[in-house]
A and B are shown apart, each in its own frame.
Chain A
Amino acid sequence: MTTQTLAGVSVERDAEGFLTDPSLWSEAMAVAIAAEEGIALTERHWEVVRFMRHAYETTGAGPNVRLLAKTSGVPVKELYALFPRGPAKTAAKIAGIPKPHGCI
Chain B
Amino acid sequence: MDERIAKVSIVVSKGSLEGVYPALIMANGARAEGMEANLFFTFFGLDVINAKRIEHVKVAAVGNPGLHMASLLGVLPGMSAIATRMMERRMEENDIPGLPEFIELVADAGCGLYGCRASADMFGFTEADFVPQVKAIITVGEFYALSAGGQIIFT
**Interface of A toward B, CB cutoff 8 Å:** 64-67, 75-77, 80, 84-90, 103-104
Query: Cα distance A86–B31 when bound, in Å?
Result: 6
Among B29, B33, B96, B108, point to the contact of A76 (Cβ < 8 A). B108
**Interface pair B28/A104, CB less than 8 Å apart:** yes
B-chain residues with CB within 8 Å of residue A64 when the two chains form the complex = 32
Among A67, A75, A103, point to the contact of B108 (Cβ < 8 A). A75
Chain A's nearest CB lies how many Å from the CB of B32? 5
**Interface pair A90/B34, CB less than 8 Å apart:** yes
Query: Cα distance A35–B97 when bound, in Å?
Result: 34
Query: Cα distance A66–B96 when bound, in Å?
Result: 10
| A-B interface pairs (CB < 8 A), number | 38
Query: Cα distance A77–B105 when bound, in Å?
Result: 9
**Interface of B toward A, CB cutoff 8 Å:** 25, 28-29, 31-34, 95-97, 105, 108-110
Most chain A Cβ neighbours within 10 Å, of B25, B109, B110: B109
Query: Cα distance A76–B109 when bound, in Å?
Result: 6
Among A66, A80, A89, A103, point to the contact of B110 (Cβ < 8 A). A80
B-chain residues with CB within 8 Å of residue A77 when the two chains form the complex = 108, 110
**Interface pair A86/B105, CB less than 8 Å apart:** no
Q: When A and B form their complex, which 10 residue pairs have the shortest distance between CB atoms, in order from nearest?
A: A85-B34, A76-B108, A86-B34, A77-B108, A86-B32, A80-B110, A65-B32, A86-B33, A103-B25, A80-B109
Given A80-B108, A80-B110, verify A66-B31 contact (CB < 8 Å): no
**Interface pair A104/B25, CB less than 8 Å apart:** yes
* CB-based nearest B residue for A83: B34
Listed by A's residue number, 23 A-B pairs whose Cβ atoms lie within 8 Å are A64-B32, A65-B109, A66-B97, A66-B105, A75-B108, A76-B108, A76-B109, A77-B110, A80-B108, A80-B109, A84-B34, A85-B34, A86-B32, A86-B33, A89-B32, A89-B33, A90-B34, A103-B29, A104-B25, A104-B28, A104-B29, A104-B95, A104-B97
B-chain residues with CB within 8 Å of residue A84 when the two chains form the complex = 34
**Interface pair A89/B25, CB less than 8 Å apart:** no
A-chain residues with CB within 8 Å of residue B105 when the two chains form the complex = 66, 76
Query: Cα distance A103–B105 when bound, in Å?
Result: 13
**Interface pair B32/A88, CB less than 8 Å apart:** yes
